[in-house]
Structure 1
Amino acid sequence: AGIAAGFAGVSGGFAANLMISSGDAVLSGFSDMAAKIMDPNYNVVASCNYFFMATSVFLIVIMGTFVTEKIIIPRLGEYKENGDGTLIEESAEMSAKDEKALKIANFVFLGIILFIAVSCIPQNSWLRNPETGSLIDGSLLLDAIVPLFTILFFVPGLVYGRISGKFKNSRDLFNGFSNSMRTLSGFICVAFAASQFINYFNYTNLGRILSINGANVLQELNIGPIPLMLVFIFVSGFMNLFMTSASAKYAIFAPVFVPMFMTLGISPELTQVAYRIGDSCTNIIAPVLSSLPIILQAMKRYDKDSGFGTLVSCMLPYTVVFMVSWSIMLVIWMLLKLPLGPGAYIYM
């Protein structure tokens, strides 16, 4: 039950965050490029979904708690240790040196956040737009969000590695970089193909042609923006069962759907929100999710008879409840015409 709750929070509520994340920066970049197919002057920024996604955190926590307490725990019944009476493997305790390194690294982490926050306060701050003083539109804070996140995690990691003794010299640091880059190699390959895909769409005007023709069909159907977004959420969630990379999938979706929905008066920011809802909810039941072997291995530590079927049966209620409640929240948001983020609205 603990593994199910943790997995649901991390992957099922994947898009919901109280902070602007690197995912916001990546997806808004695709939305921005796709929006420029229809309007070269349109800008989509990393904070465009912040209001909706920050509010979604509370929804996901409440719904996740409800499913865990009322559905998952009663369904699993009484715990029988490891199925055969053997003791559960205990986690290794941290050494005093590692604990000291972790504490100092955490203080460095908080110090960097505090420095960035304080730097944003002055009206003439170097992180603001030098002309308007805005922290949102054209500011260095959002333009440099990716390198800022890099510094935010690299510096504390370097401090921890140095104090704990894991980084004794530059070779150890290099090996750490190499091991991290291995996990990104698949994404880099996909990003290269995705960039070509978007460029071909722009060069051939296929994105514009598909968008206009698709918009004409949707206008004839006259199903309205709310049913349209609900269908798009379902399509995103269904495709996520076969291709779980949010950025790679959106690189294909954005050049087609963003301009198409713009023609119908739906903002790129709303299209991005609907995509993120569908993409998040089905992660936990997708058989091709990269973290699935880790989850299954963790489950077998506590129940040797568990497998993929056990995992899916535990996670399916989360998927259904998250999808339904999150979609209802979006419908309410659309009916009230609330902003999705700073300067980001539902309709064009």
Structure 2
Amino acid sequence: MRVSQTKTAMNQKGFLGFVERVGNGLPDPVFIFFYLILILVGVSIVCALAGVTAPHPTLTTADGSPLLLQAQSLLSAENIQKLWVEMPKTFTHFHPLGYVLVVMLGAGVAERSGLFASGIRQAVRNAPKGLLTPVVALVAMLSNHAADAGYVVMIPLAAIIFAAAGRHPMAGIAAAFAGVSGGFSANISPGQLDALLFGITEAAMDASQIDAGWSMNIAGNWYFITALLVIYLPVIWWVTDKVIEPRLGEWTPAGDQAAAYGDESAPLTDDERKGLRWAGYAILGVCLVWALMTFGPGTPLLNDEAAVDGQPWYVTATPFFRSLVAGFLVLFLAAGWAYGAAAGTIKTHRDLVDMMSEAMKDMGYYLVLAFAAAHFVAMFNWSNLGLITAVHGAGAIESSGLPLPIALGLIVIFAAFLNLFVGSASAKWALLAPVLVPMLLLLGISPEGATATYRVGDAATNIISPLMVYFPLVLIFAQRWQKDFGIGSLTAMMIPYSIWMLITGVLLVMGWILFGLPLGPGAPIGFDLGAVTGG
């Protein structure tokens, strides 16, 4: 649908117009990594020639003095050999790659069988009118486990439900968009995003050369993302009902405006309801199996040796935490298969294999992006610039006199600003993690704390960034109800959500570090590196 010339011109003015022009001029994230690698090569040469160094935070020489890190040129014979000889290893050993592909094998079945779409429809369509906004916001945030289904199903469905309740459909779109995208990291349990981000965090820790005894835990932000959900829910509710909807004014339907949406608001069929019941039984069965492997005879998902040695419980439970990636594969696969068998969307095992194959086809772009990101992270490691920058960055923060909570708040704001120009959450974290993770570790913040800090800033500005991949789709949904609704209109409608979610998110991060609360099971926000290294 064409937007009017006047509205387009208005969009080019002011700060938002600047963001749109600059953002649209950026290359694809894959090429951003390619250009950054070229820049990194040049910087490594200059730093090597200039003799840039930093004391290693944990390693020492024979006489007990800190090992001196020296910047290495990426055009040295050794690093050129690494680039070409280890290229397959560099790509296939990139931690996020395996985590995401494993989870998506199951999530692809759950999505393509119709489980996610039916679950969302069932959860929202019977919501009481007085609680319509918080129910929509809650289901929208929970729908992030459903990947694309949250955007494709939840947002247009929310508009129809609001219209059926006599409320402005744009308010429904705003509340759902804020929940799905602004609340991207808020949820009641870990999921695909946690596997992706913590995979990158683990890669950054490996590249940092800091032996911190840290082990990747997909549940490392569980408590934090639950707190985000609890905080964002009233924020979205208040902004929708008290700020956005009053400004939208009274809505008067013109013709059959919901017709363009097909049957998204139609009641579930008997087969779909049966499918949801079967999916529920499958989820319960998988949870029982995992509980049996954790607490039953033999306890294969517990480290019995750690328990005997008197290690903390979360060390004993390390195999359980690391099994959750496979656990989500089995959970999504079993639930999607059970739903499809009952609803008739999966008739033979070949349908199941086809759905898994389609899910892998959708990951094609991610594989290309992961190839570029893997080499950027690896080459950053080879140059020693990541750890050198982290050491000097940590020293700069300490010498600045800024309290650590304020420093973390500024990092959240920086990530939110960067999100306006680089829409991919994984691409941004692959860029930032090699510096932020070791830098914050040297300041006493755990890798889980660094990840939590980043994800708050990453999500808050999703809803006002035209570079976010689903922004044009949401605009089309809005134009079905109001034809002259443009990019500027959508951005202006979502700015109040972005501001308040960013403010509350920053306050949550600062409060979390002030009170030293755990971010998840066995995942403290503080980290005593000296206790690990004996320093």
- Name the counterpart of 1:206: 385
- Name the counterpart of 2:475: 296
Q: Pick 1 or 2: higher relative contact order, CA cutoff 8 A, min separation 6.
A: 1
- Name the counterpart of 1:125: 299
8 A Cα contact 1:124 1:130, kept in partner: no
- Name the counterpart of 2:520: 341
Does the alignment pair 1:104 with 2:278? Answer: yes
8 A Cα contact 2:394 2:443, kept in partner: yes
User: In 1, Cα distance between the equivalents of 2:226 and 2:268?
Assistant: 33
SS in 2 for 1:132: helix
Aligned pairs for 1:87-236 (under 5 A) are: 87-89=257-259, 91=263, 92-122=266-296, 124-132=298-306, 136-137=314-315, 139-236=318-415
- Residue number among 41, 48, 64 corresponding to 2:212 in the alignment: 41
8 A Cα contact 1:47 1:136, kept in partner: no
- Name the counterpart of 2:235: 63
Cα separation, partners in 2 of 1:11 and 1:136, compared to 1, 3 Å: farther
Cα separation, partners in 2 of 1:337 and 1:96, compared to 1, 3 Å: closer
Does the alignment pair 1:325 with 2:504? Answer: yes
- Residue number among 272, 278, 286 corresponding to 2:465 in the alignment: 286
Q: Which amino acid aligns with 2:458?
A: D
8 A Cα contact 1:35 1:42, kept in partner: no
Q: Which amino acid aligns with 2:520?
A: G
SS in 1 for 2:520: coil
- When structure 1 is superposed on structure 2, of 94-103 and 42-51 the one drifting more is 94-103
- Residue number among 22, 29, 52 corresponding to 2:199 in the alignment: 29
Deviation at 1:135, TM superposition (A): 6.8
User: In 1, Cα distance between the equivalents of 2:267 and 2:382?
Assistant: 57
Q: Which amino acid aligns with 2:218?
A: A
User: In 2, Cα distance between the equivalents of 1:290 and 1:26?
Assistant: 18
Q: Which amino acid aligns with 2:416?
A: G
Deviation at 1:170, TM superposition (A): 4.8
SS in 1 for 2:421: coil
Q: Which amino acid aligns with 2:273?
A: E
Q: TM-score, normalised by structure 1?
A: 0.90
8 A Cα contact 2:188 2:225, kept in partner: yes
Deviation at 1:29, TM superposition (A): 2.7
Cα separation, partners in 2 of 1:74 and 1:123, compared to 1, 3 Å: farther
Q: For 1:8-63, what per-residue CA distance to the aligned partner results, in whole angstroms no more than 9, with x for missing partners? A: 11111111221122322322232233234152233142222222222221101111
- Name the counterpart of 2:249: 77
Instruction: Tell me how large the CA RMSD over aligned residues is.
Output: 2.4
Higher Rg of the two aligned structures: 2
Deviation at 1:207, TM superposition (A): 1.0
Does the alignment pair 1:18 with 2:18? Answer: no
- Name the counterpart of 1:244: 423
Cα separation, partners in 2 of 1:303 and 1:120, compared to 1, 3 Å: farther
Deviation at 1:271, TM superposition (A): 1.7
The runs of 5 or more residues in structure 1 that have no matched partner are: none
8 A Cα contact 1:129 1:135, kept in partner: no
**How many percent identity over aligned positions?**
35
Deviation at 1:213, TM superposition (A): 2.6
8 A Cα contact 1:269 1:340, kept in partner: yes
User: In 2, Cα distance between the equivalents of 1:52 and 1:101?
Assistant: 32
Deviation at 1:177, TM superposition (A): 2.6
User: In 2, Cα distance between the equivalents of 1:100 and 1:313?
Assistant: 42
Q: TM-score, normalised by structure 2?
A: 0.60
8 A Cα contact 2:220 2:519, kept in partner: yes
Deviation at 1:142, TM superposition (A): 1.5
Q: Which amino acid aligns with 2:176?
A: G
SS in 1 for 2:452: helix
Cα separation, partners in 2 of 1:265 and 1:38, compared to 1, 3 Å: farther
Deviation at 1:119, TM superposition (A): 4.2
User: In 1, Cα distance between the equivalents of 2:525 and 2:257?
Assistant: 54
Cα separation, partners in 2 of 1:199 and 1:302, compared to 1, 3 Å: same
8 A Cα contact 1:128 1:135, kept in partner: no
